[in-house]
Amino acid sequence: MKNKKLYAWQKECLAAWEGNRFRGIINVVTGAGKTYLALAAIDRARDLFPDLMVRIVVPTIPLAHQWETALLHQAGSEKWRPGFFGGGKRDDPERRVMIYIINSARDTLAGHIRRDLALQRHVFLICDECHHYTSKENRKIFGFVEDLNESSDRLESLYLCLGLSATPFGTSNDEVLLRSLGKEIYEYGFDAAVKEGIISPFTVCEVSASFFADERQEYADLTYRIGRTLVQLLREHPELKKLRERREKSFIRAVMRIAREADMDPEETACAYLMLTWQRKEISTLARARISCCLSILSQLRRDDRVLIFCERITQAEEMVGQIRRAFGNVCGIYHSQMTKEARARVLSEFRNQSFRILVSCRALDEGIDVPDANIGIVLSSTAVERQRVQRLGRVIRRAQGKAAACLYYIYIRESTDDAAFLPGLEECDSFSLRYYTAEDVFANDLYEYVGGSLVRSARERGYDTAQLEEVRRCLTEGLARADYLLPAKVQAERARSSEERHDRNYWSAMKRVGDAFRGRK
């Protein structure tokens, strides 16, 4: 690790951590190098504290193995070879470096750290994906912190810590992390990482689809019932009115608390409100147009694109896989939590060695798994939770050889309460919008079509014959649902020059001309 050159952000972050008495939480986008930052922190702490004991907590077994691989590269000597606690292993906690899986760490890690501190050893606790450790059970790993607060300054100085996450905060239990790991000491987001070339440039395409008639009617009926139930709920609990006006999350949490106090009795208004909103959300989540829209997107992509498709329900993922195989052949696999550990590992291995190019998944793939490289993501369905969306975007923006850019398609239902924007506030990424029409199985983008029409008229005025005009239209049709026209001009020009097929050269020339028109509008 000492020979690996750090990025500028990693050097700044390391200095901030050291300046905060070797404690703190870092908020860094997926794919920017959080693990390497932590390894550099371990090196620095080992230099300063020869008696150092390193304790690393992870949420999943695959993530534990990723840490093991990274640590073995920097071990230097056998005494720094990592041990495991969890996943069927219980190595001696006297090892200098231990990796704990959270399910096994809950009832053991705090005791191990207490013993280290009692022996006057320096302890470095690294919490990867630290946002996972705020629940009532998981926070037990921080049971030793109260002892520190009541101890001497000498004992407290023995404790070093680092929290890692792309989304560390956002729950009602954030105080657990702040008290146990310290304040946020560094933030490094999508915009900075793209600007500095740390992650792949990326484009977000927000695709609106529409309900089928029966779904639209059922959704409208539930919306009406939700409205009536809400009026009754606010009448019974007037204190909810201000919460609803100020913040939806606080309002929903308050309603859930009332429902729990009523033992989730379906006759109670709060319970009825939650059930109705869940039923309405399910109609949107499982809307049939999502699958047909996804199939149309896939038909527009290249055969060498590597695609991750994110679903919310296993049944939806299974249906998606069946539809893909019927339409395109055996080009995809599926990954979800109800598969065996061996089956999940096999699917990831097959995707990595390119046995298939499309991987359909549910939340099991959102984080904590080493996902083979992909350049296209399709969010078939999603919660409104920003953390999940950040993690899913992070799956397709990692740098890789030959990967010029990534694109994430976000499908939403325009007649529903779905967010129309995938992640508001992103500045350094290009974005475009498509409307999908199920009956015709076509996409529309008014501005793109206007620019494309101008190019066709220009070609006609320049004397293009019928076959040449048809080639222009074909190129424009292929590019409508892709992000190629938003790539940098030099990338488009290089691809036009390097293309062996005449149609490919024409396509990239057309995309450059469309891109020039869009760039001229900025």
Q: What pLDDT digit, counting tens, does each position of 273-332 carry? A: 999 999 999 999 999 999 999 999 999 999 889 999 999 999 999 999 999 999 999 999
If you average pLDDT over residues 357-381, what whole number do you get? 80
pLDDT of 177 strictly over 80: yes
Give the burial class of 150: count Cβ atoms within 10 A of its Cβ; 0-12 exposed, 13-18 middle, 19 or more buried: exposed
The average confidence (pLDDT) of the chain is: 89
The rounded percent of the chain whose pLDDT value lies above 90 is 63
Half-sphere exposure of 216 (CA within 13 A, CB side): 9
In the structure, what pLDDT confidence band is assigned to residue 397 with cuts at 50, 70 and 90? confident
DSSP state of 522: -
Residues linked to residue 500 through DSSP beta bridges, in sequence order: none
More confident call, 135 vs 387: 135
CB 164 within 8 A of CB 367: no
If you average pLDDT over residues 155-170, what whole number do you get? 86
Give the Å distances, CA to CA, from 35 to 47, 62, 129, 155, 426: 19, 14, 11, 27, 24
If you average pLDDT over residues 465-472, what whole number do you get? 96
The label of the residue with tokens 């939480």 reads 25
CB 202 within 8 A of CB 397: yes
Structure token digits, residue 247: 């913040």
pLDDT of 402 strictly over 90: no
Give the span between the Cα atoms of 280 and 230, in whole angstroms. 14
| Residue 70: per-residue pLDDT | 87
If you average pLDDT over residues 433-437, what whole number do you get? 96
| Residue 224: per-residue pLDDT | 97
| Residue 183: per-residue pLDDT | 94
Q: Which of 28-32, 111-115, 384-388 has the highest mean pLDDT?
A: 111-115
If you average pLDDT over residues 470-478, what whole number do you get? 96
Q: What pLDDT digit, counting tens, does each position of 191-209 carry? A: 888 888 888 888 899 999 9
The label of the residue with tokens 């869009």 reads 518
If you average pLDDT over residues 465-470, what whole number do you get? 96
More confident call, 247 vs 108: 108
DSSP state of 183: S
* 116-130, 146-160, 465-479: segment of lowest average pLDDT: 146-160
- DSSP-derived 3-state class of residue 273: helix
Structure token digits, residue 444: 């529309």
Q: What pLDDT digit, counting tens, does each position of 11-38 carry? A: 999 999 999 999 999 999 888 889 999 9
For domain 8-196, the CATH superfamily is P-loop containing nucleotide triphosphate hydrolases (3.40.50.300)
The label of the residue with tokens 């704990």 reads 100
pLDDT of 409 strictly over 90: yes
Looking at 3.40.50.300, 3.30.70.100, 3.40.50.2300, 3.30.1310.10, the CATH number of the domain 202-211+286-442 comes to 3.40.50.300
In Å, how far from its chain's centre is CA 428? 17
- DSSP-derived 3-state class of residue 170: coil
If you average pLDDT over residues 228-247, what whole number do you get? 88
What amino acid is encoded at 9 in this protein? W
If you average pLDDT over residues 71-89, what whole number do you get? 78
pLDDT of 74 strictly over 60: yes
| Residue 273: per-residue pLDDT | 95
| Residue 156: per-residue pLDDT | 81
pLDDT of 522 strictly over 60: no
Give the span between the Cα atoms of 349 and 188, in whole angstroms. 31
Give the burial class of 320: count Cβ atoms within 10 A of its Cβ; 0-12 exposed, 13-18 middle, 19 or more buried: buried
The residue count of the chain comes to: 522
Residues linked to residue 202 through DSSP beta bridges, in sequence order: 406
Give the span between the Cα atoms of 266 and 302, in whole angstroms. 50
pLDDT of 2 strictly over 60: no
Give the span between the Cα atoms of 147 and 92, in whole angstroms. 24
Give the span between the Cα atoms of 390 and 4, in whole angstroms. 27
Give the span between the Cα atoms of 84 and 277, in whole angstroms. 43
| Residue 248: per-residue pLDDT | 67
| Residue 425: per-residue pLDDT | 63
What pTM, to 2 d.p., does this model score? Answer: 0.85
Give the span between the Cα atoms of 358 and 375, in whole angstroms. 11
In the structure, what pLDDT confidence band is assigned to residue 112 with cuts at 50, 70 and 90? very high
- The greatest distance separating any two alpha carbons of the chain, rounded to the nearest whole angstrom, comes to 87
pLDDT of 495 strictly over 80: yes
In the structure, what pLDDT confidence band is assigned to residue 426 with cuts at 50, 70 and 90? low
| Residue 452: per-residue pLDDT | 96
pLDDT of 160 strictly over 80: yes
Angle, alpha carbons 257-145-91 (nearest 5°): 105
Give the span between the Cα atoms of 442 and 297, in whole angstroms. 10
Give the span between the Cα atoms of 522 and 518, in whole angstroms. 7
| Residue 170: per-residue pLDDT | 66
The residues near 21 (Cβ < 8 Å, ≥ 6 apart) are: 157
Give the span between the Cα atoms of 187 and 514, in whole angstroms. 36
Structure token digits, residue 403: 């990967």
DSSP state of 166: S
Residues linked to residue 346 through DSSP beta bridges, in sequence order: none
If you average pLDDT over residues 147-155, what whole number do you get? 73
If you average pLDDT over residues 484-494, what whole number do you get? 91
Give the span between the Cα atoms of 42 and 67, in whole angstroms. 13
